[in-house]
Structure 1
Amino acid sequence: MSLILTFLGKGGVGRTTVAIAAAKRLASQGKRVLLAASDSELAFGLLLNAPLTPDPQELESNLQVLQFKTSLLLERNWEEVKKLEAQYLRTPLIKEVYGQELVVLPGMDKALELNAIREYDASSRYDVIVYDGSGDSTFLRMLGMPESLSWYSRRFGKLLKDSDLGRTVSPFLQPLISTIFNVSWTGDNLDQPTSKVTNILEQGKEALADPKRLAAYLVTTVDPAAIATARYLWGSAQQIGLTVNGVILNSATMTETFSADFSPLSVNAIPHCPPGDWQPLMDALPDFTQAPQVPKPIEFDIAARQVRLFLPGFDKKQVKLTQSGPEVTIEAGDQRRNIFLPPGLSGRTVTGAKFQQSYLIISF
């Protein structure tokens, strides 16, 4: 498994420059590095001063680079879908629909890129994958998709299993699904992790929650809008369960006020350098291979009957707590998180909540 490294921040703060410098630094340390850029990062090739392809090509020792092409990713994935359909159906329905005909729908580009990163990670060819994505709220929602889809599967699956409709159609669907998908499906095991998709979602959730597997850093300048955006993305990252490891301050000197804005994260200030002069930037970057001691996004204290969520960048007026049924929903900014309570808290009703020093503390 690889370390997947990515960067969050407002457009124009130098995320692409930092991603390239980080990849070069890690490669110089002997790590096998893949540097992958989003289809929309137009400055990527200019900064590298190299022609880019949608497949990995060697840029220098230990460093391969690619720029995703969404239409090509869509074609490749469509061919895999057709193979699966042909494997399970005697008369495939979509065999006459070709990947070259498909258009890219909104949001599909990020999903396809993240799936490609998952596949490169599974190949074991790289020690580190540096992903230069959009680094915004939409990107964070996509990173949180495994958790969101798992919630939909869990909640709607349970509703179907417990409903009159589920009990009625189960005798008819069970043999059909067993034949097509080669799984044993009944109302009793509807919510069990039997499918490839479920396994992928679980792997995604585990990677997201492990700072040694997925490391994110904020990139900002001293511009007030850039700082506000970075703080907002910091809190939004915590909402999806992604630990932010630190802050990279581009082309500025760190002050006590700036440090306080991002406490307790460590801050690394990097200098402004002429195009192509990467070494000063590489030297100023943090050690990405070491997971720092930073607050976890969520902690469960069963003995005290509490859940603690670290939500920096928000105040109590921006945080909303609701409990509907067996789960608790936290809304902060434009992000929602459904908390699946562990044994010991499951089934209990919220008795109180307070927002203290960037922590939402929920009591049961």
Structure 2
Amino acid sequence: MPQILTFLGKGGSGRTTVAIAAAKQQANLGRRVLFVSQDPTPATGILLGVPLTDKPQSIGANLEVVLISATVAIERGWEEVKQIEARYLRSPLLRNVYGQELAILPGMDSAIALNALRQYDASGKYDTIVYDGTGDLTTLRMAGMADSLSWYLRRFVAVVEESDLWRTVAPIMQPAIAAIAAIAWTGESGVSAPMQEANSFLAKSQAVIGNPQRVAGYLIATEEPVAIATAKYLWGSAQQSGLTIGGVLLNRGTVTEAISSEFDPLGISAIPTRVGTDWQPLIDAMPDFSQAVMAPKPIAIDIPKREVRLYLPGFDKTQVKLTQSGPEVTIEAGDQRRNIVLPPQLKGSSVTGAKFQNGYLIVSF
């Protein structure tokens, strides 16, 4: 299965340049690489030396590039929904609404990008996928989307199942959900059975995000204090999304003891300034991305000690809030919220204590 790499950092810190260098490094190692961009402007294409399109195209040995276009993706998806509706309604309601007319609402870009990455990941064509997204909280919310959707499913399945509205739209929604979520519909009445399958699908997605052998993020910083502070904030926020941060790439700077202490225990690689079209010095400076597994994990559950440990670097105890409602514990840190599903051995237990120590939130039950 491929490893997906993404990069986080302040705008202007050189995320795209570093991402391209990482893709080139992986290709030079003989891995089949797909570089995925969400930038519709010509900037990324100029760096790559070829205009990006919504179809993967080869730009060298082992290296393909593609642009995720939200407008193109929503047009295709809408046509599929209309075809499904037409099979179940004598007079389809959506036939006169065209995908070209649809506006991209906030959040759609992330959902479209996540679905595209899922499809490229499942294609079996690539060993490494380098995702050059926005590199900020939007990317992290995309990483945590499976966790968020799973929470909504758990909470609202019973409400939906009892509604008259569901009984009306079920003949259309069932195959639509099956097509969009890539799950098999069992044909059973109600929503519990398919939603359980959907939850299983989301749980697998969460497991992939939480496995640094499959998905890893890297922080991009410069020597500027603002860039360092932003990278540290995104580090802690990434942990809330379940995304492991494998290391730091210091762009156009020198690694000092002071900078190392800011990101301890992560390894830091100094990335030189690119000169003209010579990418080799940047390629040579790239870290071993397979070592992301050595980085601190976002969460660890110690059942014998009845403890949950969350690693939240970049935050202090005044920025972290813990609440418990029913069987789950919710952690708020910065602008991110994470719901923790306790294992069966701790399920139903109340929180007996919590402390913030050395970047870890330690919750006792």
TM-score > 0.5 by shorter chain: yes
**Structure 1 residue 8: Cα displacement:** 0.4
Distance 2:72 2:100 in 1: 8
Q: Residue 360 of structure 1 corresponds to which residue in structure 2?
A: 361
**Larger displacement relative to structure 2 (240-249 or 105-114):** 105-114
Q: 2:307 touches 2:364 (CA, 8 Å); kept in 1?
A: yes
- 2:142 maps to a residue whose letter is M
1:184 pairs with one of 181, 188, 192 = 188
Q: Residue 149 of structure 1 corresponds to which residue in structure 2?
A: 149
Q: Residue 217 of structure 2 corresponds to which residue in structure 1?
A: 216
Q: 1:34 touches 1:129 (CA, 8 Å); kept in 2?
A: yes
Distance 1:141 1:18 in 2: 22
> How many residues are paired up?
355
- TM-aligned CA distance change 1:87 to 1:203, over 3 Å: farther
Distance 1:347 1:180 in 2: 33
Distance 1:83 1:294 in 2: 46
Distance 1:176 1:340 in 2: 29
> Which blocks of at least 5 consecutive residues in structure 1 are unaligned?
none
Residue 352 of structure 2 corresponds to residue 333 of structure 1 = no
- 2:75 maps to a residue whose letter is E
- TM-aligned CA distance change 1:30 to 1:87, over 3 Å: farther
- TM-aligned CA distance change 1:82 to 1:253, over 3 Å: same
Q: How does 1:294-333 map to 2 (within 5 A)?
A: 294-333=295-334
Q: 2:330 touches 2:338 (CA, 8 Å); kept in 1?
A: yes
Q: How does 1:1-364 map to 2 (within 5 A)?
A: 1-40=1-40, 42-158=42-158, 166=162, 173=167, 177=171, 181=175, 183-186=187-190, 189=193, 191-193=195-197, 195=198, 198=199, 200-364=201-365
Q: 1:174 touches 1:186 (CA, 8 Å); kept in 2?
A: no
> Which blocks of at least 5 consecutive residues in structure 2 are unaligned?
176-184
Q: 2:33 touches 2:130 (CA, 8 Å); kept in 1?
A: yes
Q: 2:143 touches 2:242 (CA, 8 Å); kept in 1?
A: no
Q: Please identify runs of 4+ aligned residues in structure 1 that moved more than 6 A.
A: none
Identity within the alignment, %: 57
Distance 1:178 1:9 in 2: 42
Q: 2:85 touches 2:172 (CA, 8 Å); kept in 1?
A: no
**Structure 1 residue 359: Cα displacement:** 0.3
Equivalent residue of 2:350, what SS?
A: coil
Distance 2:265 2:284 in 1: 23
Q: 1:8 touches 1:233 (CA, 8 Å); kept in 2?
A: yes
RMSD between aligned residues? 2.3
**Structure 1 residue 289: Cα displacement:** 3.0
Q: 1:36 touches 1:66 (CA, 8 Å); kept in 2?
A: yes
Q: 1:8 touches 1:217 (CA, 8 Å); kept in 2?
A: yes
- TM-aligned CA distance change 1:180 to 1:157, over 3 Å: closer
Distance 1:159 1:255 in 2: 56
